[in-house]
Structure 1
């Protein structure tokens, strides 16, 4: 005798339907975040700096306690290193975006955006263009974070007991 769909099956189908609906229905999707000048950019840059320092402390802490011998913690270290590189990259790009003497930007915030470098500043335009591809650093960081958490959960890693408790 075949059973009907379970509650979990219905929820799963509803979540899938809702997800597809959210992807298909919107008319305009803006993936750009613009900050009000200058306070928004300052706060944003400070957040990048704080995140960068936090990841640096995490890498130091993992190495100091020799936790990177375990695969899960080693993956977390790799994630932190990629997040450090991502923050350095985005801070550099935000700095270049704030400069008006490097290049002209046409159709900013659209898929048809174009850069026109000022004479002698071509290399900075290329650096800006390559830096805008920050997903090449952020996605591996997130992947290593996922692998780290998966490995730590799978192995049930426990900290070794110290003499101080």
Structure 2
């Protein structure tokens, strides 16, 4: 788990540096670089969001994730949020709110680069 957390910090630093260099080199005027800049910023946010989610998950006892003794089918199980740690955990597990738009921006940047290479505008 420690290596995974360090990887989140390293990736956040790398994406932050990537976005900083795009801005510093004044590449934001070009649409494909602007899309990559947005993707970098969103990936920085995602890494810190996921990092916090992992730390919060360590605060929740394992029993909170185990099925009750009734052996109900998982579709019929209800769950309740018993404390703030569990609330934060479920909020922080929605990290795809950042990765999905980030990958969309990467897609837009690549498609824009391809159209520029083909001579289209």
TM-score interval (norm. to shorter): 0.7 to 0.9
Identify the residue that residue 132 of structure 1 maps to in structure 2. Answer: 93
Deviations 1:8-65 (A, max 9, x none): xxxxxxxxxxxxxxxxxxxxxxxxxxxxxxxxx0111111111100000001100000
Q: Does 1:47 align with 2:1?
A: no
1:67 matched residue in structure 2:
27
User: Deviation of residue 116 (structure 1)?
Assistant: 4.3
RMSD: 2.1
Flag the 1:100–1:129 CA change in 2: closer, same or farther, 3 A.
Answer: closer
Instruction: Point out where structure 2 has 5 or more consecutive residues left out of the alignment.
Output: 68-73
The alpha-carbon deviation at position 115 of structure 1 amounts to 5.2
Higher helix share: 2
Please tell me whether Structure 1 or Structure 2 has the larger radius of gyration of its CA atoms: 1
Flag the structure with more relative contact order, 1 or 2, with Cα contacts below 8 A and sequence separation at least 6.
2
Query: TM (normalized to structure 2)?
Result: 0.79
Number of equivalent positions: 109
Instruction: Report the structure, 1 or 2, having the larger strand content.
Output: 1
Q: Which runs of 5+ in 1 are unaligned?
A: 1-40, 157-165
